[in-house]
A and B are shown apart, each in its own frame.
Chain A
Amino acid sequence: MVYKTRFIWSKSDFQRGVLSLVRCDTDGIPPEVSFANLWAQKIRREQRHASLTVNVKNTLKLRKQAYLYMDVGRWLGGGQYFGVVCGGEACVCEYSPDESSPGRVKRDIPAGGLLDQFLNSGGIETKHGSIIPPPYKGDPHHLYVIIPDVHLPAAVSPKDTEKVLRWNVYQKILQVENWGSIPEPNYGQKRDFFGSLQSADALARFLTKIAKFSSEIGSQLPRAQVTLVQIGDMYELWSDRPIDFQQSRRSEVVLTEPAGDTARTIGEWISCTHFLHQEIFDAFDKCKAELSECVFLHGNHDSYLSVPAVVQAANQRQAALRSLAERAFGSEQVGGGRWESHFKTTKIPSRVRDFHAPEGIFFEHGQRVDRFNRDGETSGPETTNAAVSIESLKAGDSTRRETFVTGASAAYLIRKCDFGLYVMGHTHDPQIKLVEISHCTDDSIPVELPPIDAAWDSAAANLVDSAYLADHAQAGR
């Protein structure tokens, strides 16, 4: 089963060699809402070559385009999914913290190679997998591990005594700073909207495993490279939090008080998350030290991180915690030891909106095509906060695959078909499917995508009605 996306081009403009309207339509995808995007596009007519002969039947067929769509799912609520790409393969896997289990690899993977060694390193089960079509250029010596949405909150489980101690330490620091009263007597449980705490320890363990794998694999496979991509929504900064950005039609996060304390406040939220879950962020830091590359995207629930001032404020806050604790505790013992033993300062890396790997992989969180959750849209956090109180709202959410596959196809077109694999998170529903793309005019005559030439750039700049597509147009230059 594959998904099919159809681009419907304006016939009247097509005949003049100028396409002014394009509409995305979809087929074979669970319907959600009617989805239409319009944008300006110029084309140049160019001929294809055909080798034919006489007295036998010849066949000419319109080109078919395809890319692989991978949703890496979620790392929360007991579901520890992640994505792996290596060579020509893309897989969605699930991690079991009990690494003594050998895991299960369901696909034919070349034995002894980098992918095989990683998938058989314990506790990993491949759930879905597929080959990646061109223009992806698979490198069997380069492994990509993609961490999906985590939604890690500034909260701890009441059963976790070590983290409850940290929670209390942090509250005392807040008091010293005059940040106000302690906001949550229940260890911030309302912020754990997606049940992320259930899978938090497994993430720390998994990241440590990746760092160890990367440091050791070089002795067996000297050419091996490992890249880690966190696909966004690493932090839960919406649930049970005020909305500190303005409604914007420009698909960007504008802080409520850009010159005021907003960045500092959000920096505190993030820094608190790092303090409470030091093991996870320490493991990320180990990955940064051991792996070839670590790339961090922002999602919608942590879209504040697209603002450099927030990242800066969060790091400043992390750096200041130690001296604040000195003031709060002095020589006082905490939890049977000195307070320093509860501190491990970790870094908050800057986030990017998307990432295009040179092999032909395009990564984005996926929120740009989501009208409720795109950057600068306040209805997303409003709904999240409403659902904190009204459980039935949470149940009403759906995967909306139609929207996301169509958006991925739009990205494929606007980005000049420069990837064979599209990777997103956002939905929490892991999936891999081939997407076939066809084109027709608005009177249903099948056509081909015209060759992409220099006119594409100027045309892409004229995108209308869709800020996220304009983002892709910028990125494609």
Chain B
Amino acid sequence: MGGWHVVKQGEWLTNIAAQYNITDWKTKIWDHPSNSDLAQRRDPNVLHPGDRIFIPEIAPKEISCATDCTHLFVLRKVYDEFSLRLLDSDDKPIRHTPYTLSIGQQTFRGQTDGSGEIHQQRIDPSGDHHGVLDLPSLGLRFAVGVGDLNPVQETVPRDHTGYDNGISGLLMRLRNLGYGPEQVPTHITCEDHLPSACRDAILTFQCVEMGLSGESLTGTLTSETRAALLAKWAS
């Protein structure tokens, strides 16, 4: 039988799979024929609220055991990896900086490495993943929402109430790159409806990072701005 799961803000595929006690998320869920359309459009770690994922029915596993003896069953646990690069305002890595990262019930302490990066390999996908990244020597604290990052591709169908053409994902990346706005709406159907704080953030990015001037400086997410933003995010 199975059923459809509607993605909520803050969910990604292993997180969703954990809710259904599925460890082999790729074979059982992502590669399921009902999800082929979504799998073509999406990274399983970057889903959009409103995306629909088919969850197949999982048959209970039966194991024969002898009576009058003890048996050890080991539950296979899936972990996700977390990777973050910290840059200063001039794009230089912030190296060897102490941090405390709290995600849900887990807390990690350490220092950024020589490339300004934080790597954690055992992120439990179950449960809530909101937390805090504290960088005391920088006097900086981030309220992190792991799984909150929206995709930059549009959602379908267009007439769905939760339709977003990728703008919220772009604005989230813009915010992570230090250009605000602090509040990003999660469903934005049209750039015309952007709050002025979002336009200011785009304008500042175009001015400072892209060096645009004159009429090419629009304060809107032109194709060039999208490309520059994604390149900056992934570089």
Binding site for B on A (CB under 8 A): 11, 14-15, 17, 43, 45-66, 88-89, 107-110, 129-131, 133-135, 434, 436, 438-441, 445-448, 450
Contacts and interface: CB of A to CB of B under 8 A. Distances in A.
Interface stretch (B27-35, B57-65, B173-181, B220-228): B173-181
11 contacts: A43-B139, A52-B149, A53-B12, A56-B83, A58-B149, A59-B176, A66-B207, A434-B208, A438-B89, A448-B138, A450-B139
B81 A55 contact: yes
Contacts of A447: 138-140
A138 to B, nearest CB: 10
Contacts of B43: 56
B146 interface: yes
Closest A-B pairs by Cβ, 4 of them: A446-B88, A108-B214, A54-B80, A134-B200
A14 B139 contact: yes
A46 B90 CA distance: 22
B150 A57 contact: no
Contact of A61 (B132, B176, B207): B176
B67 interface: no
Interface string B114-142: 00000000010100000011001111111
Interface stretch (B16-24, B91-99, B153-161): B91-99
A154 B52 CA distance: 81
Contacts of B89: 61-65, 436, 438-439, 446, 448
Nearest to B171: A51
A53 B9 CA distance: 12
A226 B83 CA distance: 53
Q: Counting chain A CB atoms within 10 Å of each CB, which of B150, B207, B212 scores highest?
A: B207
B141 A446 contact: no
Contacts of A62: 87-89, 94, 138, 140, 178
Contacts of A134: 200-201, 203-204
A447 B133 CA distance: 15
Contacts of B143: 47-50
Interface range for B: 35 or more
A418 B177 CA distance: 21
A138 B88 CA distance: 29
Contacts of A59: 84-85, 87, 176-177, 232-234
Given A47-B141, A48-B140, A133 B84 contact: no
B184 interface: yes
B207 A51 contact: no
A58 B146 CA distance: 10
Contacts of B214: 89, 107-109, 131
A52 B80 contact: no
Contacts of B233: 59
B138 A55 contact: no
Interface string B196-219: 000011011001100011111100
Name the residue among A17, A55, A57, A438 with the largest chain B CB count within 10 angstroms.
Answer: A55
Contact of B45 (A48, A53, A441): A53
A385 to B, nearest CB: 43
B146 A57 contact: no
B215 A110 contact: yes
B147 interface: yes
Interface in B51-110: 80-92, 94, 97
B83 A58 contact: yes
A47 B88 CA distance: 16
Chain B interface SS verdict (over half): mixed
B191 interface: no
A447 B34 CA distance: 48
B87 A53 contact: no
A470 B92 CA distance: 34
Nearest to A4: B90
A61 B233 CA distance: 9
A70 B97 CA distance: 37
Given A59-B85, A447-B140, A48 B14 contact: no
A60 B142 contact: yes
A66 B81 contact: no
Contacts of A58: 82-85, 149, 176
A63 B84 contact: no
A53 B84 contact: no
Contacts of B184: 49, 51
A259 B148 CA distance: 70
Contacts of B123: 54
Contacts of B179: 63-64
- Residue of A53, A445, A447 with most chain B CB atoms under a 10 A cut-off: A53
A108 B178 contact: no
A295 to B, nearest CB: 26
A136 B208 CA distance: 14
A61 B137 contact: no
A220 B146 CA distance: 55
B50 interface: no
Given A53-B46, A54-B125, A131-B212, A446 B204 contact: no
A41 to B, nearest CB: 12
Given A440-B88, A447-B140, 14 more contacts: A45-B141, A51-B149, A51-B172, A52-B148, A52-B176, A53-B45, A54-B123, A54-B146, A62-B89, A66-B207, A108-B216, A130-B213, A134-B200, A434-B207
B182 A61 contact: no
Contacts of A61: 86-89, 91, 176-178
B162 interface: no
B144 interface: yes
B142 A47 contact: yes
A325 B179 CA distance: 65
B203 to A, nearest CB: 6
A78 B42 CA distance: 64
A416 to B, nearest CB: 15
A135 B89 CA distance: 18
A394 B131 CA distance: 62
Nearest to B82: A54
Contacts of B172: 51
